Amino acid sequence: MPGTGYYDRTSKTYKSLPTETWADYTNWSTFTSWAGTPADTVSFTTGIFDAGKIDWHNTLVDIEASLPADVTIYAGETLESAGQIDIASTTTITPSTTPVSATYGRYFQFTITLNKDSALQNDPEITSINVNFNSNTDTIAQSDIDTSTLAGSVGARELTFNQPVGKLTNVLVQPHYTGLDDSAGESQSPVIYIDKSSTPTVLNIFNTDTYGKRTRMDCVVDVQAQARPRLVSDEFGSIEEA
């Protein structure tokens, strides 16, 4: 497993390499420890984790270290023949970053980096890294949303909720319209196409009773959605559910 430091069997921690070189030891009587002067930075990259399927996953990373840690997440859908993640996406999360979104893929790898910014801080040492995946979902239901009150333009509305949500994985939208009188020429039949690739999700609403079936409109809808729970990065750099 690659890293920029070494494992100290005595302290059972992963430490940064010393800054000295052999040329620095001109007087061997001063050579009392292999540790030397620790560098201010150390990083460690885990092995590759298989989450079991291609999906949005909450990557939960519990870190025990002497300093707050930055976490870089590498994610991809397949592995190369050499065993590395193929075309990996990269996300770096710093301590106390909120919110943290779910990550898409099947194969994941993590680089943990500690940076000593002051002489008053502890030397960088990593004691443990524990990774878990959570594919549970929260269900969010909201009724009687007047799409004209949402951001965007007529018939191209940005879906928002009255509560914080994590990464949306499924969205079901039911339009409804009341008080129609066909004899008065008021017939409207909204059809909604959901664009989950956008952030936020966009509701494309068309009135199929118009010529060409491409006239955009607003209407009232009920929404039921599923989302991965929201994540936060705590002050130590661990990633956990909010």
The pLDDT confidence band at residue 134, using thresholds 50, 70 and 90, is confident
Task: Share the mean pLDDT of the chain.
Answer: 89
DSSP labels for 116-139? --STTSPPPEEEEEEEEEE---EE
First to last CA, the chain: 30
- The tens digit of pLDDT for each residue in 21-32 reads 888 777 777 777
The pLDDT confidence band at residue 225, using thresholds 50, 70 and 90, is very high
Instruction: Break the chain into its structural domains and give their ranges.
Output: 5-135, 138-227
Is domain 138-227 in CATH 3.30.450, yes or no? Answer: no
Query: What 3-state class would DSSP assign to 12?
Result: coil
Report the pLDDT averaged over residues 201-207: 93
The secondary structure of residue 236, as a DSSP letter, is: T
CA angle 158, 159, 160 (to 5 degrees): 115
CA angle 227, 230, 235 (to 5 degrees): 165
Residue 18 identity (one-letter amino acid): P
- The tens digit of pLDDT for each residue in 79-132 reads 998 889 998 899 999 998 877 889 999 999 999 999 999 888 999 999 999 999
**Which phi-psi region, left, alpha or beta, contains residue 209 (left: φ > 0; alpha: ψ -120 to 50)?**
alpha
Judge if pTM exceeds 0.95. no
Q: Which two tokens stand for residue 205?
A: 């609403």
For residues 6 and 14, is the Cβ–Cβ distance under 8 A?
yes
